[in-house]
């Protein structure tokens, strides 16, 4: 049965880029003389840093360089969403007009991947809910800039200061934010800190409900008062897989490589998994999936 499940895991992505991905021999069995995990047993990773935590007990099931400070790209948006919810004064159905300052240019970023954005222009109008969902589901950078702008305008507070204050409240002592999208590599954290963030963020039903959607329709009121509709797709390729992801946030910039923060509910176990600095997008998802499977096997012994 274990061999069959391992075959399923390895076959999740067809790309040849995963041909060297494997488990250590007998990784689903605790080695003789070892009464505890996490450390060097389990899947081999391309990721620079990773951690898996049993949310209910707080037990670390696997870790690799868990305290290394690294750029976190769009995982930043989990903090942006959390801070927005804790400070917003507008309702879901209130509308916001897009301003020129909300746009995201491509200059200075990877030539391979343009910064993700909602296809809106200055003067377009969207509901708060559609902006929020667009920022999390599509990882739209302009959506998160709008949310930050709205909170700063309504509260008179600096949004980035609110993000860093919230990080301190969550005891994320090795985390710092420069801006709300994740495009700046000066936004950094650790796998250990981000495990705290994904758990806290997913306690909010608004974030959980957004991240569980595979797609979503955004309605845009154009400057000429006509209506446009935009179908956006979730960036999380693990939705619907057997590891039962309850919510995940992807991230990528050139400086961070491929990142993921996710919660899985498998066999009545709630697992938080963080992947930072995986070599490819496929590695990111495959390594998270394999870590969750492996950690679950340890808990089921």
29 — pLDDT class (breaks 50, 70, 90): very low
Q: How many CB atoms lie within 10 A of CB 199?
A: 17
Catalytic pick among 48, 49, 64, 77: 77
Token look-up 């898996």 returns 52
Task: Give the sheet arrangement for strand 227-233, strand by strand.
Answer: 95-97, 125-127, 215-221, 227-233
- Residue spans of the domains in the chain: they are 2-70+247-299, 71-233
Exposed e or buried b per residue across 98-125, where buried means at least 16 C-beta atoms within 10 angstroms of its C-beta: beeebebeeeebeeeeebbbbebeeebb
Q: Is the pLDDT of residue 273 over 60?
A: yes
Nearest in space to 149 (alpha carbons), one of 172, 174, 112, 122 = 122
pLDDT at 2: 43
Catalytic position from the list 74, 117, 189, 281:
74
Over the stretch 69-94, which tens digit does the pLDDT of each residue have?
A: 999 999 999 999 999 999 999 999 99
Q: 152 catalytic, yes or no?
A: no
90-126 pLDDT, tens per residue?
999 999 999 999 998 644 444 345 789 999 999 999 9
Q: Considering the candidates 64, 117, 129, 139, report the single residue annotated as catalytic.
A: 139
pLDDT at 18 over 80: no
Q: What is the value of pTM for the model shown?
A: 0.86
Q: Is 139 a catalytic residue?
A: yes
- The CATH code of domain 71-233 reads 3.40.710.10
Specify the pLDDT at position 301: 83
Share of the chain above pLDDT 90, in %: 80
77 is catalytic: yes
Q: How far apart are CA 5 and CA 245, in angstroms?
A: 17
Full DSSP string of 228-266? EEEEEE-S-TTTTSTT-EEEEEEEEETTTEEEEEEEEEE
Structure-model confidence comparison of residues 21 and 97, the more confident one: 97
- pLDDT given at position 105: 67
């Amino acid at each position: 049965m274990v061999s069959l499940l391992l075959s399923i895991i390895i076959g999740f992505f067809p790309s040849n880029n995963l041909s060297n991905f494997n488990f250590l021999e007998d990784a689903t069995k605790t080695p003789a003389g070892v009464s505890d995990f996490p450390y060097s047993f389990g899947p081999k990773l391309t990721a620079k840093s990773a951690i898996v935590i049993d949310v209910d007990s707080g037990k670390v099931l696997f870790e690799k360089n868990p305290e290394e400070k690294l750029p976190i790209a769009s995982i930043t948006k989990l903090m942006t969403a959390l801070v927005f919810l804790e400070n917003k004064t507008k309702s879901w159905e209130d509308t916001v007009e897009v301003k020129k300052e909300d746009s995201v240019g491509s200059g200075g970023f990877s030539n391979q991947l343009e910064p993700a954005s909602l296809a809106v222009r200055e003067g377009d109008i969207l509901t708060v809910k559609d902006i929020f969902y667009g920022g999390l589901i599509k990882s739209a950078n302009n959506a998160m800039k709008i949310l930050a702008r709205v909170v700063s305008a309504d509260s008179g507070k600096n949004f980035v200061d609110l993000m860093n204050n919230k990080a301190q409240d969550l005891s994320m002592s090795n985390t710092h934010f420069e801006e709300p999208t994740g495009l700046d590599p000066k936004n950094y954290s650790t796998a250990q800190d981000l495990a705290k963030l994904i758990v806290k963020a997913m306690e909010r039903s608004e974030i959980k409900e957004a991240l569980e959607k595979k797609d979503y329709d955004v309605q845009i009121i154009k400057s000429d008062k006509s209506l446009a509709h935009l179908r956006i797709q979730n960036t999380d390729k693990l939705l619907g897989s057997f590891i039962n992801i309850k919510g995940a946030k992807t991230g990528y910039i050139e400086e961070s490589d491929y990142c993921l923060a996710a919660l899985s509910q498998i066999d009545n176990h709630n697992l938080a998994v963080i992947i930072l600095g995986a070599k490819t997008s496929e590695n990111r998802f495959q390594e998270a999936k394999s870590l969750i499977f492996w950690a679950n096997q340890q808990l089921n012994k």
